[in-house]
Amino acid sequence: MLRVLLGVAGAVVVLGIFSSVLRTLVIPRPTRSSFTRVVQRLVHRPFQWLADRTDSAETKDRVLAPVAPLAIVMTLISWLASFLVGYALLEAAVSQLGVRAALTEAGSSLFTLGFASGNRASLNVIDFCGAATGPIVIGLQVGYLPALYTAYQRRETEVTLLEARAGSPPWGPEILARYAQVELLDDLTELFRDWERWSAGLSESHTTYPVLIQFRSTKAVRNWLIALLSVMDAAALWLSFNPSRQRAEVRMALRAGFVCLRDIADSRGIRYDPDPRPDDPLQLTYEDFLQGVARMTEQGYPMERTPQEAWPHFRGWRVNYEALAYRLARDIDAVPAPWSGPRRTPVVIRTPLTPIDRRPVG
């Protein structure tokens, strides 16, 4: 009976970890692995504990930067350690080997060292399976990294390009203000078209490889979520203040953005209202809205509606994405930015921000 229990336990461990490997590395669709999620949370907690005790956004960013890469390494180690235990249980179930000898036999096979080998046919079968498992898992992980970092690079290229258009950290009203300043408002549709495609790519990559959500930008004042939020706010402001201007690309970019956030929320098990009412409350206040409008007015942004008239329209758009954006910004400790909600702990940005562009005199 004991050997039967050992065999069942070993089979459950091996098959369960194989399922985790397949869900994480092989299946090209959002599939949640409880094992991978637990390992990543355990890696994240001590870093988050330390980050919560800092009062600088730059320090917090440096503390949290290694979390995602370290989680990938620890996931691989945890898989191999679990396979070692699972195969050792199977070795012990079909032989007279003790705990130490079974671990040695399983480790010799799993890591293809070959210094230990059994004489029984049943052991040889398990040894062969273990010897195949180690290289397969390591090979899959090695192949996984280029795809991961390629998706990261694609994401960061657009985030970096947005810095000149939206400041550091980015802000929706600043996008419209800067385009108005250089009289390029007609080119805004190209920006929204690019970010519609960017949102679709982000939705695919960050739900297939959820660890990408925790990957941070190379600078503390950059963040993929804050960049997306600023573009969505710019689109909502455009639609609210300028009903007669071109709207198709702007609406599509805005919709792609909140669909992307909802896909990420689904992959993380975050609940949200799929059909909010246009008059549902916002965390963004009317006074905050007026501050953004003042920045746009200062740079000569043309408005067909007054702020009072535009506010209900802006609310009707923002209610679709504000709660999710604020929740994700808090979860990943995104850089503090206007119109992006609270963080886990109060922090300040000590790095000088992008200077405010001013119109030339004369």
- Buried b or exposed e, range 55-94, using 16+ CB within 10 angstroms: eebbbbbebbbebbbebbeebbebbbebbbbbbbbbbbbb
Q: Report d(CA 51, CA 342) in Å as an integer.
A: 15
Q: Largest Cα–Cα distance of the chain, in whole Å?
A: 92
Q: Report d(CA 249, CA 262) in Å as an integer.
A: 20
Amino acid code (one letter) for 337: A
- 348 SS3 class: strand
Amino acid code (one letter) for 273: D
Record the tokens describing residue 63, joined without a space.
């503390």
Q: What is the pLDDT along the chain (362 residues), one digit of tens a residue?
A: 677 888 898 899 999 999 999 998 888 777 778 899 999 999 999 999 999 998 888 899 999 999 999 999 999 999 999 999 998 888 888 777 777 888 888 888 887 665 555 555 556 778 788 888 888 898 988 888 898 999 999 999 999 999 888 888 899 999 999 999 888 888 899 999 999 999 999 999 999 999 999 999 998 889 999 999 999 999 999 999 998 887 888 999 999 999 999 999 998 889 999 999 988 989 999 999 999 999 999 999 999 999 999 999 999 999 999 999 999 999 999 999 999 999 988 877 655 455 455 554 43
